[in-house]
Amino acid sequence: MSTSLLADHETTEVLDRTIITRPSLRDTIDQSLAMAWRALKKMRRNPEQWFDVTLQPLLFTAMFAYIFGGAISGSVEDYLPIVITGILAQTALTACMATGIQLREDMDKGVFDRFKSLPIARIAPLVGPALADLIRYATAATLTILTGLLMGYRPGGGFVGVLGGWLLTVFAGWSLAWIFTYFGTRARSAQAVQGISMMVMFPLTFLSNAFVPSSTLPGWLEAFVKVNPVSLVISAVRDLMNDGALTANVGWALLGCGIVVAIFLPLSVRSYSRKM
């Protein structure tokens, strides 16, 4: 029934039952998908969860372009290639902040007691919502790009470049969400997650090259901006969308995202398991 990779679980006999000793990878995937299904149902029934990924991209794109366009780049059209890619990263970050807050809210509900009491892989209740949230990151990225196009943004990378930038944004959102998921498993309340997340998100977004070229900043700030993972993602997205170039920046961005996942995913699972 399964391949060698998706090896069957080990079992033990207790009474006249066959009990699974450890969940197999296949069990874990099935359980994560079931949890993703639950998260999607929940999203569909709580439309207010969509405000941050629908209204915000529309509003922020227009607002930032018209306010800063003239001052920073001389004209709104010239500013669009900078601001669209910046807002892409910003909305993805806001969306993944919501992932952590909603996880915390969810964990305070009774149903999480049941999830904990069920024989499921401890990672499933975390991976499920993370998978479902891919839809939110995709929505935010799509709407930001569409708003930009309507305002006159003509990406030099063409369709393939834009698609690449879009994919990278969604992947970055998914990766960085593990930071906020970790806060979600650690903090005492959803408000606390919101507070901590804001303090992390604002410096990450604004102390980056999202809205202004980093060369205009004082030296010490420029140094931080250059190593900020959000800057890495934004530079890569700019290379893809504006130049259609698969540069080293793309590699750095992927590596940065990978490192974030490698650190915060295990931390989240450990902290979630310990909460029981």
Partner 1 sequence: MTRVPDTDLAVAASGLVKTFGDVNAVDGIDLEVRRGEVFGVLGPNGAGKTTTLKMLATLLPMDGGEASIFGVDVRRHPHMIRQLVGVTGQYASVDENLTGAENLWLFGRLQGLSSSRAKATANDLLERFGLTEARDRQISTFSGGMRRRLDLAASLISQPPLIFLDEPTTGLDPRTRGQMWDTIRDLIREGSTVLLTTQYLDEADQLADRIAVIDRGLKVAEGTPDELKTSVGSSTLQLRMAEPADTTPAVDVVRRVLGEEPVLTPEAGGMNAALTDANQAADVLIALRQAGLSIASATVQKPTLDEVFMAITGHGAEDETDQQPRHEMEVAS
Residues that bind partner 1 (CB under 8 A): 10-15, 17-23, 27, 30-31, 34-35, 37-38, 41-42, 45-46, 109-120, 124, 276
Q: Are 112 and 209 in contact (CB under 8 A)?
A: no
Instruction: Name the minimum Å distance from CB 99 to partner 1.
Output: 16
- H or E element: which one contains 40? helix 25-45
Instruction: Name the minimum Å distance from CB 119 to partner 1.
Output: 4
Nearest residue (CB) to partner 1, 42 versus 226: 42
Nearest residue (CB) to partner 1, 118 versus 262: 118
Nearest residue (CB) to partner 1, 126 versus 240: 126
Instruction: Name the minimum Å distance from CB 52 to partner 1.
Output: 18
Q: CB under 8 Å to 238, separation ≥6 — which residues?
A: 81, 82, 85, 165
Nearest residue (CB) to partner 1, 39 versus 87: 39
Q: Are 52 and 94 in contact (CB under 8 A)?
A: yes
Instruction: Name the minimum Å distance from CB 223 to partner 1.
Output: 44
- 156 three-state secondary structure: coil
| Separation between Cα atoms, residue 57 and residue 90, nearest integer Å | 9
| Separation between Cα atoms, residue 274 and residue 158, nearest integer Å | 48
